[in-house]
Structure formats: C-alpha cells, structure tokens
Chains A and B, each alone.
Chain A
Amino acid sequence: MKKDKWYLLMILPAIAFICFFIFYPLFKGGLMAFQNYSLFNLKDIRFIGLENIKAILFSKAVSFRLILLNTVKWLVLSLVFQFLLGFTLALLLRKPFKGRSVYCGFVFYPWALCGFAIGLIWSWLFNGQLGVINDLLMKVGLIKENIGWLSNPKIAMYSVVIANVWYGIPYFGIMLLAALQSVPNELYESATIDGSNKIQQLFYVTIPYIKPTIVSTVLLRSMWIVNFPDLIYGMTNGGPVNSTHILGTMMINKVYKEFDYGQGSAYGVIIMGLLLIYAVIYLRITRSSEGDM
C-alpha cells in the first residue's frame, strides 16, 4: 500500500500522455460530432444536435446500409480467414524443424508492413491489364480474359479482403503459435493413450487449452480490422461505386476531401459505438460458453 504512491508516480507520465493526446482530443472530437464543424465555416461553429448523425444515416449519396454491410463483410471475411489460415500455420509450426526461426522471419514479416503500402502493393498485383495475378491465372489457363479485381463492384470487396487476409495471417500465426507451445505435452500423451486421434485432440485438448488466447486475440483483431481503413485507402479508396467503402474510409473522405470535421467525427462516434456493442456481446457470449465447459 505504501509503495502504491511510488507506483502511481511511475505510471503518471504514460497516463498524462494518454489523457492529453488521446482522451482530451477524443472528448473534443466527440463534441465535434454534434457541431457543424467544417474548415469552411470556422467563424460560425455551433451545436446542431444529431444533424451530422442523421445526415450519415439518411444520406442519399451513399446509402448507410451499404456502408454498414460492407463494414461487416470486411470485418467478418477478413477475420475468419485471417484466423483459420493463421491457426493452420501455427499448427504446422508447432513441432520444431531445422530453420524454423528463419522460416518464421519470412512468413511473419507482413505483420511489420505499412497498411497503406500493402494496399498499394496489392493494387499493383490486382491491376486489370498489367497485374501479375491476371497474367498468371491466364498463363495457367484458369481464366480466359482479365478479371477486373478492383474495377468490378461485385468483386472489389473480395480483392481488398484477400489483401487484408494476407496482412493478418502473421498476427494470428504469431499469437497462436506461442499459445500452442504452452500446451503441456503430457496432455497429448494421455489423450493418445485414451485412443483419441489427431482431430479429436485438436478439438478436445488444444483448442480448450488455448481458448483464452483465441478469445482475446479475436476481439483485439476485430477492433483493429474495423479501425484499419489504411489498406482500402491505398487500394480502391472506397470505389468502384462505393463497393469497398467502409465506415473508416467514409470518415477519411469526409475529412480529407470535404473538410467536414463534424460529419467525420460523427462517423467516429458511430464506429466506436458499434465496436463497444460488439465487444460487450462478444465477451458475454465467450464468457457464457466458458461456463458450459
């Protein structure tokens, strides 16, 4: 108890930074969401209630339902494939082999890349005429004519998701690999003696043991994916015909193109509100299923 005073002093700088540069602006940004805050009318800024949020929800230019649907698609598809592929990779890496750490260095490297640069890289790979992906598919004979990966509104969302999956596999690979290595070998040995096969072991030994890691990584990742418009910004910036616009990219355009900080912040409020609801439901579901076990 006596030492707590010193501990508080030690954590104070970090808290001060967070308060001044995160929470205070967050509060101001929250206010902006209810003001007609635009760089064009700085002289006449006042509170306008829910006008910004209404303008977003009932926008005629871009339907909010579409944006919300896109955001859900972006989140769910990215998350599911990042997780499944990352988990597969981790399972394959569990047993040590020669050169494993070098292998990990290469296969995990996309984690350290800039999201915006990844968007650019993949927009070059997916390029309609000069893209290497179309060219290779053509050479192998899988397609007869170029696919408009980023120009066809029906396909574009899947293309940006592919890029995001590529970026996210290492995160789950890293996290789950470490968790897998913490599973005691005795558990597998006794499961083998009980006559269970590899797949049964996966579902009855491995997954229950690393469940806390799965629960927390999936939640954190969900939040990061929703708050990660960088990649789409680099690839399509929402196009074609809004087919890849998510809440985050709408916010970018409101701010960078229209300088409408009020509506930009209103998007932020909506994003945070939805994430909070998501987190509460998610934690309730994962907690209650824990009770069953």
Chain B
Amino acid sequence: MSKRKVKRTAGTIVRVLILAAFLLSAILPLFWIFITSFKGETELYAYPLVYWPKHPTFAAYKRLFSYSNFGQYFLNSLTVTLSSSAVAMVLALMGGFALSRFKRKKMKGIIELLMYFTQTIPSFMIMLPLFMFFSRLKMVDNLPVLATIYVATVVAFCTLMSKSFFDRIPEDLEEAGKIDGCNLAQSIIHVVLPLTLPGIAAIFCFAFVNIWNELFIAVMMINKATKYTVPVALNSFISKAGVSWDLMSAGIVVSLLPTMVVFGVGQKYIVAGLTDGGVKG
C-alpha cells in the first residue's frame, strides 16, 4: 500500500517537473525580449549580460512611438485585421453552414477538397500576380485592398472550421424552429447561431491571429511608410547595419499585445474550434 503511494507521489512530482519545464521554455524567450525592451543602450550591449536592468527605461518605447511612428502602424494593422476578420467570419459562417447541410455529396466533397487544397499554396505564388494586377490599377499602398486579400487567405480554413461546428448541430433543430413558424433565415439566427457562439469566437480569433501576423503579402502590397502594418514596420527595423535591438524588442512586445488579448479571451474557444476544424480532415 505505502509502496504504491510512494510510486504515485513520485509520478506526480515528475509530472509537475515536466510541466514546469514546458511552461518555462514557453515563457522565457518572451520574457527575455520583454526585459530587453526596458534596457538602455549601454545595458543592452553590455558584457557580461545584464539580466535585470538596473536603470529600466521607457526610452525604446518613446522612440518607437515618436520617431518611428509605430502608433500609426498599429492602427493600420488593427483596422485591416478587425475588418477582414469580421468579413471572413461572416462569409465562413454562411459557407460553413451551407457546406454542412448540402445534400449533394459530390459537390460538397469537391468544395471541401478545394478548400483544403488552398492550404498547400505558398503565399508568394498568389501575391505576385495580385501585386501586378493592383499596381496596374494604381491600387498598391491601399489598406482596403490588403484587407480584401486577407479575407481570401483565411476564408477557406475558417469555412472548414465553421462547417465542422455546424456538423454537430442536428438539422432537426432547424426543423423544430420551422414548426414554430420561423423561416430558414430566422431559424438560423434564433436557433442555430446561439449554439455556435463558441465556434464563431474561434473562427474570429483564428482569422485575427493569422491576419495580424502576416508579413509577406503586406511587404509586397505596401511601400509607403504611412501605410505600414506592424510586421512590415518590424521588417523595416532591420537595416544593412543590422538590427537595433532596443527598438526591435519594444516593437515586438507591442506587436504581441493584440494577439495576447485575443488569445487570452478566446483561448477556450480557439482550442475547441481548432480541434473541430482539424479533427475531421
């Protein structure tokens, strides 16, 4: 009896230790960037390394928002990301519902396959023709254009996610709504939608995170500094002379905040949503 108990406690200790190791390795890299962003220039390049800044300073952040106009980039990113995530979410909800309820199996299968197929396409493959197309129309450096492209890049996977959510809701529910005198649209809004709220949250979060983080298409489509998105701005901090790490680390920390908020609030739903989207491959 006591032997078994010892074994069990030992097991628990090992489990806690491994979990702690995972946690530390997940957090420490971000923590180090956070620390770096508060070092002054002397401490930043000091040797031996300064682990805990003796003179913490906001200088890098001040420079970030004044000299390099990061506030504007942040606002650009936020506008683009929020609007395209919202549009993608609505399209994915409609499309996913339809895909889930389709009767014609063959058509359903083809559409689904095409949506999975989009996942194999490198973004460079599509952005060159898009760039040529929009530059002919004199529509580069145009944030709404960028947002429109972003809708397309996430909508396929979002639709697949939303389809598997609707798969879980029995069709009888809509029928029940119909008997109560609702038409299809009403029964979707009053009966089906409330049940899929977690799914809606998950789709929005997935779109938000992916669009907020996108670099290459934005670099291609945006040249004017006033239209930069956050990743493009970070990219511009790399010069031939190298990276100025105080500015860069401050920029990275600020760039992490929105996805941190979205992930913090929506984590539960994202976890449920991603798994639903992926499990039924």
Contact = CB atoms under 8 A, between A and B. Distances in A.
A193 interface: no
Contacts of A233: 215
Given A178-B279, A216-B279, A255 B124 contact: yes
Given A114-B255, A117-B234, A125-B29, A10 B94 contact: yes
Contact of B29 (A115, A122, A212, A215): A122
16 contacts: A4-B103, A10-B97, A13-B94, A18-B152, A22-B121, A29-B125, A103-B19, A109-B263, A114-B213, A115-B215, A135-B48, A166-B26, A227-B122, A268-B122, A272-B122, A275-B120
Contact of B126 (A1, A29, A85, A93): A29
Interface stretch (A57-65, A69-77, A218-226): A218-226
Given A15-B111, A113-B256, A272-B121, A255 B128 contact: yes
B119 A217 contact: no
A26 B124 CA distance: 10
Contact of A14 (B33, B94, B130, B235): B94
A121 B252 contact: yes
Contacts, number: 256
Contacts of B45: 130
A101 interface: yes
B98 A11 contact: yes
Contacts of A111: 209, 263
B92 interface: yes
A248 B33 contact: no
B155 A107 contact: no
B115 to A, nearest CB: 7
B63 to A, nearest CB: 17
Contacts of A140: none
A175 interface: yes
B160 to A, nearest CB: 10
Interface stretch (B54-62, B64-72, B190-198, B268-276): B268-276
Contacts of A213: 275, 278-279
Interface string A84-120: 0100110011000000010111111111111111001
A3 B184 contact: yes
Given A4-B103, A117-B213, 8 more contacts: A7-B98, A9-B98, A18-B115, A32-B129, A107-B22, A111-B263, A268-B121, A272-B125
A48 to B, nearest CB: 16
Interface residues on A, range: 35 or more
- Rank and list the top 4 A-B pairs by shortest CB-CB distance, nearest first: A216-B281, A21-B152, A178-B275, A114-B213
A202 interface: no
B30 interface: yes
A187 interface: no
Interface string B96-118: 01110111100000010011001
A179 to B, nearest CB: 7
Contacts of B262: 112
Contact of B98 (A8, A110, A271): A8
B104 A4 contact: yes
A6 B275 CA distance: 28
A105 B267 contact: yes
B274 A174 contact: yes
A230 B210 CA distance: 13
B279 A20 contact: no
Contact of A279 (B33, B120, B152, B268): B120
